[in-house]
Amino acid sequence: MESPTPRDLELARLTLAEDLGPDGDITSTSLGLGDRTCVGRILAKQNGVIAGLRMVHAVAAKADLRLALRSLVQDGDTVQPGTVIMEIEGPHRSLLIAERSALNFLQRLSGIASLTRKFVDAVSGTKARIYDTRKTTPTLRELEKQAVKAGGGCNHRFGLFDQILIKENHIEAFKKANGLTGSLPEIVGKTVAEAVRNRPSGIKLQVEVEDCQSAEHAARAGADLILLDNFSVPELREGVERVRAAAPNAPPGLEASGGITLATVGKVARTGVDRISVGALTHSAPSLDVSLLLNPIG
């Protein structure tokens, strides 16, 4: 397992500071709990996929360097109820201080990995790959995107800086700024062509479209990727055919998005799209249920 990064450690520090406040763990203090050594075991309480072990190490390092951790599974491993995920040994009070912050990271990130794995399994046998979005928890994007990868998914662009993605509001703003007239598909084509001319070297360009004609114009204008947003399954099939006919020599990648669920993702994948982006992976994943049990030593 990779060691915690400086950013991991800073997130852990902020999380512990939020929990401890100005007066620290007053429950442990009131009970006189101190440096007696304990062993804690983090257990899975339901089936799922693990992610976020690095953050457990980061929290432990910031809580007390005397805490010794041993991971019994790795990120990406599947677990069942009762699986021991990690053992932690160290001062009783320090374990109690680290407990909630460490479990919060582990539960949240494992929940994302677990939901991602369900989507990945649902498109097995097709060429489609499952992608995340930027609909992430502020300041936790890197961790949440790593959790998607642990679940077998792929990462979309990280932020506004590493890929051009022209959406409806960009198209409308470009239209008004340049006084463009004509049909929406024509305006989409002109918007893409302008971005193609001005994009930085090596940067992919994607455009979100809402109809097949706009997708054709985007393909002819040189888009690398086309996002077919809120298309029905029949519309997706038509869009795939028309885009590949519009740019037969260098067809752009095709991505489906918008309201896709576990019940529908298999049908979407079988339309022939290359990618399926699912915002729910990071904004709606239920946390995986895990717990920490302590046993005093001596």
Strands 129-131 and 164-166, bridge-based pairing? unpaired
User: Can you read off the two tokens belonging to residue 185?
Assistant: 């598909």
Q: Is 208 an active-site residue?
A: yes
From 229, 235, 238, 289, the catalytic residue: 229
Residues 287 and 110 sit within 8 Å (Cβ to Cβ): yes
* 154: number of Cβ within 10 Å: 16
Catalytic residue among 208, 210, 255, 274: 208
167 belongs to the catalytic site: yes
* 232 membership: H or E segment, kind and range: none
Half-sphere exposure of 40 (CA within 13 A, CB side): 26
Catalytic hit among 13, 100, 141, 175 = 100
The one-character DSSP state at 70 is E
DSSP 88-157: EEEEHHHHHHHHHHHHHHHHHHHHHHHHHHHHHHHTTTSS-EEE--S---TT-HHHHHHHHHHTT-B---
The answer to whether the beta carbons of residues 248 and 75 sit under 8 Å apart is no
Q: Which of 167, 175, 242, 270 does the annotation list as catalytic?
A: 167
Which of 41, 45, 129, 135 is the catalytic position?
A: 135
Distance CA 125, CA 31 (A): 57
Q: What is the set of active-site residues?
A: 100, 135, 167, 208, 229
